[in-house]
Amino acid sequence: MIVEELNESSKALAKQFPNLVEMKQVGESVSGEPIYCLKIGHGKKNALLYGFPHPNEPVGSLMLDYLSWELARNEELRKLFDFTWYIVKVADVDGAMLNEGWFKTPYSFRKYVYNYYRPAGNEQVEWSFPIEYKTLKYDKPSPETKALMEIIDSAKPDFIYSLHNAGFGGVYYYVSEDAPLLYPIFEKAAQDRDVPLSLGEPEVPFVKQYHQAVFQMPTTVDIYDFYEKYSQRDPAEIIMSGESSLGYARRFNPNLFEIVCEVPYYYDERICNLRQTKSVRRDLVLENLEFQKKDMDTLKEIYEKIKSHIDTHTKFQDALEYFMKSFEKAFEAEKKWAETAEELSRNATVAEKFDNEVASKSYSLFKWGMLYRLVKSQNRFKKDPILKQAAGQIKKLIDSRIEQLEKKTKFKVIPVKSLVQIQLTAGLYASLYASLRS
């Protein structure tokens, strides 16, 4: 569903259940698009659920659309949880619209790359909440983040569900505290839909692992402490964005429980294979870091060539400049961690080897997709030989990498319905857990 369809569904819901559902505009995007929130029910506790924390992650919006209708229709379901539900289907409206080119064809990885957009970190809904910690002070929340802040400030939620999803890999979870009761449910939610757990390299190297594919949810405080340990620079010079929803919302309700359920679009069975390989994990991680550095250097070189030819400012330019700068600042610390972390001294599993050699390289394609969109979006593109040459070079690189990826993997596309069901199952049980513990 695109943004317009999601908003129309919300309007229809509020109209059909006027005594139970309130649809309210809670803010505006940077471009002036309305950001809507559905308030459903009259429970004693408050739950905040929001989709598109990152605009290339649409699965959660579909889950929220289904859940909102089910909550309105099903009185027993509302009574079971005793929540007042605050549901924001589209937190990043502008960003979601920039991704709509691939929403109707999620089975095509190529279509995804060429229609991808993800904002700069300091413009991301999830990572631009205010924070003041040691030498770090950030107080420039995006308009979209401000909309969520309004809800958090007033509702002081007991439960938050930030609807993220991954790209290539398996299912994994973040929780704000160790909650062993939920882990068998999380596993079963994926297994029942024949979707593997992600058992390779963790997305964030320094987070605590509670269970297989379940991690402690990171905050900017954790990121700061990581850079303080592994970098010679002031962490405040490296961190260019703000706090997470968890770090911010805990100010108002320390007993808050938050969950993230990351579901992939595509997978290869190796992502859950724990058989040991002959490769040392540290070597694989360092090789991957070097690949990422060379890849970013190449992208930066092409960007510098076309920079003076840019005549139309776009969000793609802001995002690319942010990611190039943040990668350069963080690389030293990540490399030092990789060189010294004790957990990397053992031999890697098949899943970890696959993550380092294949999956992470698929993610690296997305910045190239944004660079291609930046070049093609220029008014002078058709008449500028430098831009046309760059577009051809970028397209050749992307197509070649995708071809290599398809040769190296048993590429499987996961039905969207299965992903929605996994997020729904995890979210309902996590919200029940939150309602009973507080």
Same domain, residue pair 253 and 354: no
Displacement of CA 373 from its chain's centroid (Å)? 20
Task: Say what the pLDDT of residue 115 is.
Answer: 96
Same domain assignment for residues 218 and 328: no
Q: How far apart are CA 297 and CA 238, in angstroms?
A: 18
b/e burial code for range 214-244 (CB count within 10 A of at least 16 → b): bbbbbbbebbbebbbebbeeebbebbbbbbb
Q: Which residues contact 383 (CB under 8 A, 6 or more apart)?
A: none
263 three-state secondary structure? coil
Residues 119, 216 within the same domain: yes
CA 342, CA 334: separation in Å to the nearest integer? Answer: 14
Query: Which of the residues in the chain have pLDDT under 70?
Result: 106, 438
Q: Is 47 helix (H, G, I), strand (E, B) or coil?
A: strand
The CB density around residue 15, as the number of other CB atoms within 10 Å, is 10
Q: Which of 166, 121, 164 is nearest to 330 (CA)?
A: 121
Same domain for 220 and 104: yes
Same domain, residue pair 258 and 300: no
CA separation for the pair 362, 288 (Å, rounded): 12
Measured CA to CA, the distance from residue 269 to residue 350 in angstroms comes to: 10
Residues 425, 334, single domain; the answer is no
Number of domains in the chain: 2
Digit-coded pLDDT (tens) for 272-300: 999 999 999 999 999 999 999 999 999 99
Do 255 and 142 fall within a single domain?
yes
- CA atoms of 197 and 269, how far apart (whole Å): 10
Domain at 17, CATH number: 3.40.630.10
Bridging pattern class, strands 214-216 and 172-175: parallel
Residue 350 half-sphere exposure toward CB, CA atoms < 13 A: 8
Expressed as residue numbers, the domain containing 387 is: 275-410
Q: Which residue of the set 201, 262, 334, 352 is catalytic? A: 262
Instruction: With both helix axes pointing from N to C terminus, report the angle between 416-437 and 183-191 in degrees, rounded to the nearest 10.
Output: 170
Q: What is the structure's pLDDT at 438?
A: 57
> How many whole angstroms separate alpha carbon 18 and alpha carbon 66?
18
DSSP letter, residue 239 = -
Do 231 and 210 sit in the same domain of this protein?
Answer: yes
3-state secondary structure 173-221: EEECCCCHHHHHHHHHHHHCCCCCECCCCCCCCCCCEEECCEEECCCHH
Distance CA 71, CA 419 (A): 20
Pairing of strands 83-88, 131-133: unpaired
Element (H, E) at 48: strand 45-51
* Same domain? 255 vs 324: no
Q: Are residues 125 and 249 in the same domain?
A: yes
Active-site residue, 262 included: yes
For residues 250 and 316, state if they share a domain. Answer: no
pLDDT tens digits for range 314-340: 999 999 999 999 999 999 999 999 999
* Same domain? 225 vs 372: no
Burial class (CB in 10 A: 0-12, 13-18, 19+), 99: buried
Residues 221-241 have pLDDT tens digits of 999 999 999 999 999 999 999
